[in-house]
Amino acid sequence: MKLSQKEEELMNYIWQADETYMKDLIDAYPEPKPAVTTIATLLKRLTNKGAIGFRAKGHSRAYYPLIAKSDYSTSYVKNMITTFFQGSSGRFASFFTKNIKLSKEELLELRDMIDDQLKASDK
């Protein structure tokens, strides 16, 4: 599933709330707030893409995510690796460690995560 930047931004508010109404979504945005019609359009697109669902509650709709943020993030990163790094996780890791300013502590934490994965794969 491919979401636009604006759709991702709205999804982040929906993921945080777990279930929310249009009014609450608009209130969550910083000033200047988007128009009601903009949010309505984004909600319709997200519904059509299968990213969110809704329940009718009186005259309102309660929106909720149909896809977990972790599942979307995983799919997004896999697509990025395929698109920009010829499907090579190693190339992505090399790019990431060389081009993102990581502190020594962050690099050590990454090394520990890799070591843990290596140990788990030996079992």
Check if the beta carbon of residue 39 is closer than 8 Å to that of residue 52: no
Q: What is the pLDDT at residue 122?
A: 82
Look up the CATH number of the domain holding residue 39.
1.10.10.10
Q: Are residues 20 and 35 in the same domain?
A: yes
For 87: left if phi > 0, alpha if psi spans -120 to 50, otherwise beta; the answer is left
Rg (CA), the chain: 19
Beta bridge partners of 60: 57
Q: Where are the alpha helices (DSSP H) in 1-123?
A: 5-17, 22-28, 36-48, 69-84, 89-99, 104-122
Q: Are residues 59 and 77 in the same domain?
A: no
pLDDT in tens, 77-101: 999 999 999 999 889 988 888 888 8
> Structural domain of residue 79, as residue ranges?
69-122
* Domains of the chain: total: 2
Q: Are residues 61 and 80 in the same domain?
A: no
* Mean per-residue pLDDT, 3-22: 95
CA end-to-end span of the chain, whole Å? 34
pLDDT in tens, 102-120: 899 998 998 899 899 888 8
24 to each of 18, 54, 68, how far by Cα in Å?
A: 12, 14, 20
